[in-house]
Amino acid sequence: MYLIKPSDGDSGAKSIKRAKKANPKHNEEISSDSETESSAVPKKRQPSEEIEYEETPQEKKLRLAKLYLEQLKEEEEKRAEEESFESDLIAGRLQEEVVRNLIAPDASEIRVLRGHKLPVTCLVITPDDKCIFSAAKDCSIVKWDVESGKKLHTIPGGRKGTEDRHVGHTAHILCMAMSSDGKYLATGDMNKLIMIWEAETCKHLYKFTGHKGPVSGLSFRKGTHDLYSASHDRSVKVWNVDENAYVETLFGHQDAITGLDSLSRERCVTAGGRDRTVRVWKIAEESQLVFYGHEGSIDCIQLINEEHMITGADDGSVCLWSVNKKKPLSTVKQAHGCHGDAGLEQPHWVASVAALQNSDTVASGSHNSQVQLWKCSQNYRGLEPLFSVPVSGFVNSLKFSSSGQFLVAGVGQEHRLGRWWRLKDAKNGIYIIPLKRKPPTQEEVND
């Protein structure tokens, strides 16, 4: 783990370039393309020396008052973050009770929802666990009712070249995120665009532009409407959805970013694809932590809690990390087995990972016809297999419900990031997997 802070002479991977611009409110489209242009001041216009002047008592009073207000604001933000962290720890203890004694469901209990014509690439579950939003390579977004399995709303995809008149995506959708209050849905596509929707009505609100490559990761900071986005252009951007505004850009990765996640703290984590790094971005401190562990492209990442995260890679491994250690706490190689002729075996790529927030239960998906559930051992020192669930196809997205009552898998005939090969027997759809538990023993009841 390396702590990187920008200095005047830093460049490339050793700095975070931050660019800010005025926040235009309620425009139809927000761009960050020219974020660095407005901040550049020609040298000839800069004063050669600073003009010194004496501070009047009134100016000193005003300056000290501003300083005091800033300190109060910082203390308030710090206290709010600590309270949020404490509530997450309490939620974690409750979740541990929920996930105890998990057992594999019967194949007949798994429900499959079909509605996308092409491979499902991403999904989210609403905070109340009543609805699922899914998106696919057919550029469409579908809102599903969990209980009935019926479609509540479909936002159709458009054909390439119809961007000017089509409300929605006209390129493969790669990622999506929902705000923790269920108000906003954000979706990102191969066409470098981020769309913001009103989740309740599926009404289109804004379009964010500025990324120079496919948008591959999105996450709302918990408890806020701040949105983090990641792209194949190697950058992370920060947006304020309430204000329909671009905030800043962060640089550091040396290859396409393939995944992103965040929780309550003002930070996010990213998977850097073939640069083989995982990064923790401390937004307020203007710094990043760099982690190394996988031997292949890191394709997916998710936070378990504020201190631990899980990643998967095309080298077939699943890694468990602490944000305080530069190497993984645990690595499971060939987590989904191998395929190929004898002597030429290749591990099944890990295409998706998920964590039941603030618990010890995680899941990983590949294309070996199984979703694997894992239990983190005490103090997150290792990963122990719990059971596997039969799912045919590329498991491109996994999400646990907030209650821990079910797991949802977004499945397709192809990998979400490319078309390396196709599994013809697979079905493009949503798999709802119930999470069953053993009945408590008499001793546990007595306890």
Query: What is the tens place of the pLDDT at every residue in 216-256?
Result: 999 999 999 999 999 999 999 999 999 999 999 999 999 99
pLDDT value for 351: 94
6-10, 163-167, 210-214 — which one is most confidently predicted on average? 210-214
pLDDT band for 416, please (50, 70, 90 cuts): confident
pLDDT value for 184: 98
Question: Among 16-30, 191-205, 246-260, 362-376, whose mean pLDDT is lowest?
Answer: 16-30
pLDDT value for 9: 40
3-state secondary structure the chain: CEEECCCCCCCHHHCCCCCCCCCCCCCCEEECCCCCCCCCCCHHHCCCCCCCCCCCHHHHHHHHHHHHHHHHHHHHHHHHHHHHHHHHHHHHHHHHHHHCCEECCCHHHCEEECCCCCCEEEEEECCCCCEEEEEECCCCEEEEECCCCCEEEEECCCCCCCCCCCCCCCCCEEEEEECCCCCEEEEEECCCCEEEEECCCCEEEEEEECCCCCEEEEEECCCCCEEEEEECCCEEEEEECCCCEEEEEEECCCCCCCEEECCCCCEEEEECECCCEEEEEECCCCEEEEEECCCCCEEEEEECCCCEEEEEECCCCEEEEECCCCCCCEEECCCCCEECCCCCCEECCCCEEEECCCCCEEEEECCCCEEEEEEECHHHCCEEEEEEEECCCEEEEEEECCCCCEEEEEEECCCCCCCCCCCCCCCCEEEEEECEECCCCHHHHHC
Superfamily of domain 102-437: YVTN repeat-like/Quinoprotein amine dehydrogenase (2.130.10.10)
* Average confidence (pLDDT) over 355-360: 93
Residue 85 has pLDDT above 80, yes or no: no
Is this model's pTM higher than 0.75 or not?
yes
pLDDT value for 34: 45
Query: What is the tens place of the pLDDT at every residue in 146-171?
Result: 999 999 999 999 888 787 888 899 99
Across the chain, what does the average pLDDT equal? 85
pLDDT band for 74, please (50, 70, 90 cuts): confident
* Average confidence (pLDDT) over 265-277: 95
Domain boundaries, given as residue ranges, for the chain: 102-437
pLDDT value for 342: 82
